[in-house]
Amino acid sequence: MQVKSLIHANFITRILFKEFIISMTVLSIIQAFFLSLMLPSIAISLRPYSYHIHFSPSPKLLAPVISITSYIYGIIAVIAAAQIASEIERGDAALYLSFPISRLSYIFSWIIAAIVFPSVMYFLSLSIPLLIIEPKLLFGIGGEELLLIVLQVSTSAIISFLAAIILKRRAFALAVGMFEYIILPFIFTFIIALLSSYLSYTGQSFTSSNIWWFAILYPYNYYLFFDYLGVKWFEAACVNIPFLLFILAFLIIYTKRYFEAG
């Protein structure tokens, strides 16, 4: 199954290659632009090279750039994940499945092409400008931040992916994916604002324990927005990962039992 999935994933990637390259180029340009705006603060934060000094930049130094470009990366992944519905609509999926490739291999090939590849693309688009401007800035990217970004984007992309194979319409899948990724966070934020006001009115403390559910879908946003409450990155990851595994398990079960390309 793995070999067939990789072969078909390679085929899908070739189809989407132009879009992926354009997206990576745009992301690199955007990140280079914002980094150039931050050069004064970066110059202050950086110290001269020295073989005797260990460089340890602030983990929040690149947060503005990462938060903006990771948002774009998420949109790219959601759109790519919804593309499988186009194959189903055109009947291409039925053609592929008529060959000796299982439904599970077919689905996993799309996951590799639509979720794994954009993640690699995002990391490269982030690394290249940093290597050009200041290689030491790579040490300013916290591994926990990248992990939470990948978890959040993967969750949204798989939801879009599920909508695509269940509804079998690209427009519907995109609507579901974009609603979950773009609109739902604002709704949740509004609910959290109301909750905060209510707790303040009743004299209760507003703590991270009141909003842990936000990390189910948006672990990076939870970590980024509520840092002032003392939230930890591993708390966000521990809340999100079980849900991510659940929807992956549901995807596998649905694919094996109910997925039909026609």
pLDDT at 149: 92
Task: Please tell me the distance from the alpha carbon of residue 227 to that of residue 208, in angstroms, as a whole number.
Answer: 9
Asked if residue 221 belongs to a domain, the reply is yes
- Tokens 């109910």: give the residue: 258
Residue 53 belongs to some domain of the structure: no
Residue 178 pLDDT exceeds 90: yes
Stretch 110-132: mean pLDDT = 81
Confidence category of residue 9, pLDDT binned at 50, 70, 90: low
Does 166 reside within a domain? yes
The mean pLDDT value for 51-62 works out to: 49
Token pair recorded at residue 60: 């929040």
Percent with pLDDT over 70 in the chain = 73
Report pTM: 0.82
The whole-angstrom separation of Cα 262 and Cα 257 is 14
What pLDDT, on the 0 to 100 scale, is given for residue 260? 72
Count the domains in the chain.
1
Q: Give which of 82, 63, 66, 75 is closest to 23, Cα–Cα.
A: 75
The more confident residue out of 141 and 8 is 141
Give the span between the Cα atoms of 218 and 21, in whole angstroms.
27
- 49 backbone φψ class: left, alpha, beta (φ>0; ψ -120 to 50): beta
Q: Is the pLDDT of residue 57 over 60?
A: no
Is 238 inside any structural domain?
Answer: yes
Confidence of residue 54 (pLDDT cuts 50, 70, 90): very low
Domain that holds residue 151: 2-37+58-257
Comparing CA positions, the residue from 179, 175, 174, 177 lying closest to residue 247 is 177
Residue 2 pLDDT > 70, yes or no? no
pLDDT value at residue 140: 58
pLDDT band at 17 (very low <50, low <70, confident <90, very high): low
In Å, what is the CA distance from 33 to each residue of 36, 120, 211? 5, 21, 34
Q: What is the pLDDT of residues 130-139, one digit of tens each?
A: 777 766 666 6
Q: Please check the confidence at residue 16 and state whether its pLDDT lies above 80.
A: no
Question: pLDDT band at 56, cuts 50/70/90?
Answer: very low
Q: Kindly report the backbone phi and psi dihedral angles of residue 232, in degrees, each rounded to the nearest multiple of 5, phi listed first.
A: -110, 150
Helix axes 170-178, 143-167, angle to 10 degrees: 140
Which of the residue ranges 78-82, 143-147, 200-204, 233-237 would you say has the lowest mean pLDDT? 143-147
Mean pLDDT of 207-224: 93
Confidence of residue 243 (pLDDT cuts 50, 70, 90): very high
pLDDT digits (tens, 9 = 90+) for 123-168: 887 777 777 776 666 665 667 888 999 999 999 999 999 999 999 8
Residue 52 confidence (pLDDT) above 50: no
Contact assessment for residue 114 and residue 161, using Cβ atoms and an 8 Å cutoff: yes
In a domain, 51, yes or no: no
Residue 14, pLDDT score: 59
Q: What is the pLDDT of residue 121?
A: 82
CA 84 to chain CA centroid, nearest Å = 18
99 three-state secondary structure: coil
